[in-house]
Amino acid sequence: MTSNLVRSGLGVAVFGTGPLAATVARIIRDNGADLHERAGTALLPGELPSADLLVDTTGTAESAPALLAALRAGRSVITANTVLVAEHGHRLAAAAAEFGGDLFFEAAVAGGVPVVRPLTQSLSGDRVRQVLGVVPATEPHDAIAQAAILATLAFHTRVDVGDVHFEEFAAATAHDLAAADALSLRLRPLTVCTRVSGQLTPEEGGKERISVRVHPALLPIAHPLAQVDEPTSAVTVEAEGAGQLMFSGRDATTATASALLGDLVTAARNRVHGGRAPRASYYAELPVAPLGDTPTRYYLNLRVTDHAGALAQVATVFADHGVSIARVRQEHHGSDAHLIVLTHRARESALTDTVDALAEAACVRAMTTRWRVEGTDE
């Protein structure tokens, strides 16, 4: 069987239209000789439904029936479709396992930044504590879908898009950006997938929980993701044994095409040599913690009356709700003052209760900004 494949080659069908499909087709055509050597067989133009390998460059879940049919026919699927993997990945993986095909989706996460393979293979013997990502996404649903995929892979737990807490990334004022910079913090659109330790309850069978969120957040300037600007995508993974690892790259069509081609070569090798892609792993079945139980820190910008005792009143509200203040900056503006408050880590519910109480405090005129702070416990 192997010698026949080497002589005749494997048929490759590119499913979809647009720049990504065109780029993949061009690379296969222009680099055919090199890809032949790397895959162990020729990669030849193929047609649906008979192609051995199907490369999916579509962007919606509408391609699911065609891909499921291919997998059920024993063929292999390589996809860059983030929404498809997040919403139907478990069905696709089950079909691949049952009928002998492969499912690869490195290109579906972080614009092709190589993080899927490290999570599923390199770190398969380690315990991942947290995944943070700065992943530019044109649509909110894409960002949510990427978070669900990352959490599923990191924690061996099926995480659906409905499990992801999402908040829009709104424009920030120059004043807040300057105040954050003075605190050595940078604002980023952040994906947060983390274990929630110390929150085990009998109702949940004593299981550890996880938190999966996408929202604007401040990071310490020294954190690797604080240095990432568009169009770069980057993901950090913190594991017990390996420590903190960073994966970054351009968020571009060529980068996504590169990830697709890498998976395509691996899928072809598997056909030639009899290997298989890593199987999906949902064994841990960790529950998703309610947002209120998630520990985080807050950056708050309060506009208060500029009189003696205002700061003491604000500090009392924090103390009454069991939230500790890490740093305070006071800036005077006419008859008012701005208090920039950075808290220590606390449960989200305690922090939101504190914010609600501050809104009722006589000295507080307005809460102008509330951001979470991630990547540090200091």
pLDDT tens string 82-113: 999 999 999 999 999 999 999 999 999 988 89
Confirm or reject CATH 3.40.50.300 for domain 293-373, answering yes or no: no
Taking each helix axis from N to C end, the angle separating 82-99 and 140-155, rounded to the nearest 10 degrees, works out to 40
CATH topology of domain 2-110+253-273: Rossmann fold (3.40.50)
Residue-level pLDDT at 6: 47
List the domain boundaries for the chain. Answer: 2-110+253-273, 112-250, 293-373
Asked: is 112-250 a CATH 2.40.10.10 domain? The reply is: no
77 pLDDT higher than 70: yes
Contact partners, residue 186, CB within 8 Å, separation at least 6: 180, 218, 219, 220, 221, 226
162-218, pLDDT tens digit by residue?
A: 999 999 998 899 999 999 999 999 999 999 999 997 644 555 556 799 999 999 999
Instruction: List, for residues 215-272, the tens digit of each pLDDT value.
Output: 999 999 999 999 998 788 999 999 999 999 999 988 789 999 999 999 999 999 999 9
**pTM for this predicted structure:** 0.93
300-329 pLDDT, tens digit per residue, is 999 999 888 889 999 999 999 999 999 999
Q: How far apart (Å, rounded) are the C-alpha atoms in residues 173 and 242?
A: 38
